[in-house]
Amino acid sequence: MSDYTSTQDRAVAKWLLICCSLVFVMVVLGGVTRLTGSGLSMVDWQPVSRLLPPIGDQEWQKTFEMYQQTPEFQKKNAHMDVHDFKGIFWLEYVHRLLGRIIGMVFFFPFVYFLWRGFIGRDEWIKYTLMFFLGGMQGVLGWYMVKSGLVNVPAVSQYRLTAHLIAAFAIFGYMFWIALSRLYPSRDGGTAHPWFGNTIALTILITATIVAGGFVAGLKAGKIYNTFPMMGDYWLPPGMLALDPVWRNFFDNMATVQFDHRILAITTFVLVVVYWTKIRKTKLPVGAGKAVNALLHTATLQVILGISTLLLVVPVFLAATHQAVAMLLYAIALYLCHRLYYATDRD
């Protein structure tokens, strides 16, 4: 931590970083929920009243009967009994419960810090915005789930990707504010010459993650499980089969997977180039280690992505791939922040 950081700033930053850690866990758990087919097991949304899971055989049977009315049960899981249902219910329940816990972990310290003056009156709006965005993320999550409760037992890839983007945006917003508390701007600070390139690389990382959301939403990772070619093709057939053409980039499984591959490979190559060149410049304190971490994490992410594809999306590898994507995003944001607030004193 910076020597220039006050005790109050460190306290607020630690709180925000704890919230970021919980959002990280929430994203990973959400991925596991999706990968295990648990996301549509809770067919109602009671964010305030339903804190406890079903208790007793009668409540479990009632909850199971609600699930039996859904397309997922009727078209995919008609073989399930109550015991089987519990296996998918718990993951979704814990996922929703964690969302409530994050809300409380954010809200009560926020009120305390506001009361004690750790958060100034000129700053309370940006922290209130964090809380509001967290609440809207819950609404967006239910909006996503609802898309899989009508006709087709699968959530919309558009809504799933929007839910994922919102989680990353909330994480990034809190993380940036936390970094600003740890490394406050100082008079005379100037942006590092590589700040613009770092922003561009972060945007590319984000675009690759968004493309991964569409792969996940369409389950496009379960086709063309070869690398580097897609089956026998470099360009798979039917990539522009849908009309209008733009739909192929969001609704066509082959096109969506191809796009994610190209973006991922391009991102990795540019990370290597970035690492090679920026190491020759004078960097702020902590940025050098972050640059190395960016390269190592990007390498791990490529290995995980290819392995997940070749092994036809095993749950552990796919969830780890999503977790490392968020870690890569966090490292890139950290670099953006450190290079934006670079000063001679660093």
Which pair of structure tokens corresponds to residue 55?
């208790």
pLDDT confidence tier of residue 45, bands split at 50, 70 and 90: confident
Chain centroid, CA 42 distance in Å: 21
Cβ neighbours of 308 (radius 10 Å)? 22
CB 43 within 8 A of CB 54: no
| Average pLDDT, integer, range 64-87 | 93
Q: Residue type at 286?
A: G
In this prediction, residue 197 carries a pLDDT of 97
- 191 residue type, one letter: A
pLDDT of residue 187: 53
User: In the predicted model, is pLDDT for residue 49 greater than 80?
Assistant: no
Q: How confident is the model at residue 152 (pLDDT cuts 50, 70, 90)?
A: confident
DSSP conformational letter for 233: B
pLDDT above 60: residue 5: no
Q: Among the listed ranges 152-156, 157-161, 275-279, which one has the minimum average pLDDT value?
A: 152-156
Please give the Cα distance from 332 to 2 (Å, whole number).
19
Q: Report whether pLDDT(215) > 60.
A: yes
Distance CA 119, CA 100 (A): 23
Give the Å distances, CA to CA, from 113 to 8, 11, 130, 160, 172: 9, 9, 15, 34, 21
Helix, strand, coil percentages for the chain (3-state, nearest 5): 70, 0, 30
What residue type is assigned to position 342 of the chain? Answer: A
Tens digits of residue pLDDT in 76-106: 999 999 999 999 999 999 999 999 999 999 9
| Domain locations along the chain | 1-184, 188-346
Q: Which of 41-45, 110-114, 189-193 has the highest mean pLDDT?
A: 110-114
> What rounded mean pLDDT belongs to the chain?
93
Q: Helical H runs in the chain?
A: 7-35, 56-68, 71-75, 82-116, 124-146, 157-182, 195-218, 248-251, 253-278, 287-310, 315-340
The pair phi, psi for residue 268, each rounded to 5°, is -60, -45
Residues in CB range of 76: below 8 A, 6 or more apart:
37, 153
4 has a pLDDT exceeding 60 = no
Centre a 10 Å sphere on the Cβ of residue 31 and count the other Cβ atoms it contains.
22
β-bridge mates for residue 233, sequence order: 230
- What do you get for the CA distance between the two ends of the chain, in Å? 12
Q: Which pTM was predicted? A: 0.93
- Cβ pair 263, 204 in contact under 8 A: yes
CA separation for the pair 194, 197 (Å, rounded): 5
Instruction: Provide, rounded to the nearest whole percent, the portion of the chain with pLDDT above 70.
Output: 95
Helices of type H across 219-314: 248-251, 253-278, 287-310
Task: Give the integer Cα–Cα distance in Å for 319 and 252.
Answer: 23
The single residue listed with the structure tokens 């990382």 is 205
Beta pairing partners, 230? 233
